[in-house]
């Protein structure tokens, strides 16, 4: 039995699926878009004694030569100030900024209600719209190959996530318009999690809307571990809060969790094929845990 993490009582937690924790032997197909995703990345310390791994995860991501990078929130600790983005995040993950599609986390809001440093860094100082979406919103969508990709703002205390909210109405309209066969959504705080923060019930209306339109994948961070779930309402969820800031304990294993690892920094790589996807979790140099597999998109 491979030990992949610990619960809140320091009990060993192991995988629950036949393929979990294995690096399956499939060939990476470079004819399709390749995505790298991870969250919870940069701390404000570059000293030799620092325990942050943002440089290592950035180097790993760059080595994969992705077409797009989805950063899953909490990109710059502790409060997402522009000066800290420029001093710590930018020298590492900034090398991928031109292909980065960010989602905003709770640490980007810090003590504010509008995440100014985050929007200033990705959109430009004072610019109202750009790669991070509109200020005051932080949600947007784009396409990669035959996939429609949606960035959601899960900071529901600032941007309403409930039924009838502006964000949810926008999401319904956005999903109704897409002609792509596969749908991926991503945001910071996971709907389901075996980690320290647990399930985010405020994301239920967003989750159910995605299920209604046949979404295939949801990616999140917030809890600092890697986790893969079996399909729930037709959607498979990944947590990749392993971008470098720190790692958390596993609190309580979720019933539909297939694999969870709380000991490894790394990134999630997705190859977005015409009607399917390949996934790989890859560790930073010196660590060994891997996970990989393939699945078809839902039939629309």
> Hey, where are the domains in the chain?
32-296
pTM of the model: 0.92
Is pLDDT of 45 > 80? Answer: no
Please tell me the predicted confidence (pLDDT) of residue 7.
43
Percentage of the residues of the chain whose pLDDT score is greater than 90: 81
Minimal CA–CA distance to 169: which of 160, 178, 182?
A: 160
Residues 6+ apart with CB under 8 A from 167: 137, 139, 152, 153, 159, 160, 161, 206
Please tell me the predicted confidence (pLDDT) of residue 290.
97
What's the CA gap between 37 and 57, in Å, rounded?
Answer: 11
Residue-averaged pLDDT of the chain:
90
- Taking residues 17-29, what's their average pLDDT? 52
Q: What tokens does 214 get?
A: 């046949």
CATH of domain 32-296: 3.60.21.10
**Residues 129-179 pLDDT 10s:** 999 999 999 999 999 999 999 999 999 999 999 999 999 999 999 999 999
C-alpha distances (whole Å) from 163 to each of 133, 150, 152, 207, 217 are 21, 18, 14, 11, 21
**Residues 220-255 pLDDT 10s:** 999 999 999 999 999 999 999 999 999 998 999 999
Is pLDDT of 112 > 80? Answer: no
- Taking residues 195-213, what's their average pLDDT? 96
């Amino acid at each position: 039995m491979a030990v992949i993490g610990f619960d809140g009582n320091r009990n060993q937690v192991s995988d629950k699926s036949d393929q979990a924790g294995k690096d399956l032997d499939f060939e990476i197909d470079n004819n399709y878009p390749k995505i790298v995703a991870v969250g919870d990345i940069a701390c404000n310390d570059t000293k030799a004694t620092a325990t942050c791994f943002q440089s290592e995860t950035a180097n790993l991501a760059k080595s994969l030569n992705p077409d797009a990078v989805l950063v899953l929130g909490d990109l710059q600790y502790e409060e997402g100030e522009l000066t800290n983005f420029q001093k710590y995040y930018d020298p590492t993950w900034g090398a991928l900024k031109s292909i980065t599609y960010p989602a905003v986390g709770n640490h980007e809001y810090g003590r504010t209600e509008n995440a100014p440093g985050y929007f200033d860094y990705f959109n430009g100082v004072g610019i109202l719209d750009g790669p991070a979406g509109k200020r005051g919103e932080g949600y947007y969508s784009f396409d990669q190959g035959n996939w429609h990709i949606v960035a959601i703002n899960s900071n529901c205390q600032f941007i309403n996530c409930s039924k009838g909210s502006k964000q949810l109405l926008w999401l319904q309209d956005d999903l109704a318009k897409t002609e792509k066969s596969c749908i991926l959504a991503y945001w910071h705080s996971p709907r389901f999690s075996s980690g320290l923060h647990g399930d985010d019930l405020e994301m239920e209306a967003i989750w159910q809307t995605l299920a209604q339109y046949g979404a295939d994948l949801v990616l999140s961070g917030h809890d600092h571990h890697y986790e893969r779930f079996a399909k729930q309402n037709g959607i498979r969820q990944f947590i990749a809060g392993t971008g470098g800031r720190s790692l958390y304990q596993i609190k309580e294993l979720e019933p539909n969790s297939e694999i969870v690892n709380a000991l490894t920094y790394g990134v999630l790589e997705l190859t977005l094929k015409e009607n399917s996807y390949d996934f790989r979790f890859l560790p930073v140099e010196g660590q060994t845990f891997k996970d990989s597999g393939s699945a078809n998109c839902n039939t629309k």
